[in-house]
Homo-oligomer: A and B are copies of this chain.
Amino acid sequence: MTKQFTFELNATDGAARTGVIHTPRGDIRTPAFMPVGTAATVKGMLPESVRATGADIILGNTYHLMLRPGAERIARLGGLHAFMAWDGPILTDSGGFQVMSLAKLRKITEDGVRFQSHIDGANEFLSPERAMEIQRQLGSDIQMVLDECPAFPATETQIERSLALSMRWAERSKAAFGEQPGRACFGIVQGGVFPHLRQRSAEALIEIGFDGYAVGGLAVGEGQSAMFEVLDAAVPLLPADRPRYLMGVGKPDDIVGAVSRGIDMFDCVLPTRSGRNGQAFTRAGTLNLRNARHAEDTAPLDAECRCPACRKFSRAYLHHVVKANEIIASMLLTWHNLTYYQDLMSGLRAAISAGTLASYAADCARSWAAEVETLSD
């Protein structure tokens, strides 16, 4: 196992790439999907089960962890990996996005952002330096710079002003990250749906120099075609020898489209949150297990899937436990959805290696059309 953080590119197919990120805590096969482990748990899953789905790396949320149980406490307890019993790599976000979406009474200044905890209303403060300090205390393997996440829609002037602040914060974040052998610091390209601002952001980050580059500020309501246009403009500007991470994305077809455009890493709450809401992603499309048509269906959720929900139980059983709000419904559907996402990533990696990504993507799109049910939110 390496002692350094390195990225090995093994094959390309058009703009798409497959490779391995080597870290002291283990390898991350790319393109990679990172299950979200918000509050030191991937909701409804034991760590060994997350690993069994095929995940090489998980994501932890700085915002949630700083509020409860607190970064200093996790540090005293030996770091996030030991605390939550996950020995693989962990990427942590900077808290910026959750401050925007969850916290109350936000006040942003050049220095940082003051806000009130959504848990107990306590006054909190996050600056680039504090965000990096927290991620270091957690022991995160991939640490994200603090950025400002503007709401969507925003005017070009708003985005330009926000971007300028985010780039100054990126520089302070990198300085605060300092030297942490084996760990990585990623910058985040902002700029909304404006290609020239995305370009300005990418150039500013490359000038600072990061171990990897994320594309942020997407999947906030702009729609898939606008998102793909941003990727078409931004991804070619990023260094080919560093991992590229599309934050907070997405649905299976978003992922396939983004991989085709050269993205290497993803995270999204969709497979876990949807699972807790009775919704399943399958090879035949998206299903809502709440629907009465599943009540006496003895078929498995997805006949090709290797997860416990599909190997041991019928759609009829899953319908029953979803309707009865049983914990096992969240457990099984989360496990299934994460397995489906990991199998999709595995399929994408194999297709890129074989140079058959276009036909793999077309096969996915065709099979997803078989069974599509309206999903609730």
Using CB atoms and an 8 Å cutoff, list the residues of chain A in contact with chain B: 39-41, 43-48, 68-69, 73, 76-78, 83-85, 295-296, 298, 308, 312-314, 316-317, 319-321, 323-324, 326-328, 330-332
Contacts and interface: CB of A to CB of B under 8 A. Distances in A.
Contacts of A43: 326-328
A321 B328 CA distance: 18
Given A77-B314, A298-B77, A298-B78, A331 B46 contact: yes
Contacts of A78: 298
Given A314-B77, A317-B84, A324-B39, A295 B69 contact: yes
Contacts of A69: 295, 316, 319-320, 323
A72 to B, nearest CB: 10
A47 B69 CA distance: 32
Nearest to A311: B85
A320 B332 CA distance: 23
A73 to B, nearest CB: 6
Contacts of A323: 68-69
Q: Which 7 pairs of residues, A with B, have the shortest CB-CB distance? A: A85-B312, A44-B327, A41-B328, A69-B320, A39-B324, A41-B326, A77-B316
Most chain B Cβ neighbours within 10 Å, of A43, A48, A316, A323: A316
Contacts of A85: 312-313, 317
Given A85-B312, A298-B77, A331-B327, A320 B68 contact: yes
Contacts of A45: 328
A68 B314 contact: no
A328 B69 CA distance: 16
A84 B144 CA distance: 43
5 contacts: A41-B326, A41-B327, A43-B326, A69-B316, A83-B314
A331 to B, nearest CB: 7
A328 B83 contact: no
Contacts of A295: 69, 73
A46 B330 CA distance: 11
Nearest to A39: B324
Interface-central residue, A44, A73, A327, by most chain B CB under 10 Å: A327
A39 B320 CA distance: 9
> Which of A78, A295, A296, A324 has its CB near the most chain B CB atoms (within 10 A)?
A324
Given A69-B295, A296-B73, A46 B317 contact: no
A113 to B, nearest CB: 23
Given A44-B327, A46-B332, 18 more contacts: A39-B321, A39-B324, A39-B326, A40-B321, A41-B321, A46-B331, A68-B320, A68-B323, A68-B324, A69-B295, A69-B319, A73-B296, A77-B296, A77-B298, A83-B316, A83-B317, A83-B320, A327-B330
A209 to B, nearest CB: 36
Among A312, A317, A319, A321, the most chain B Cβ lie within 10 Å of the Cβ of A317
Contacts of A328: 41, 43-46
Contacts of A324: 39, 68
A330 B331 CA distance: 11
A320 B82 CA distance: 14
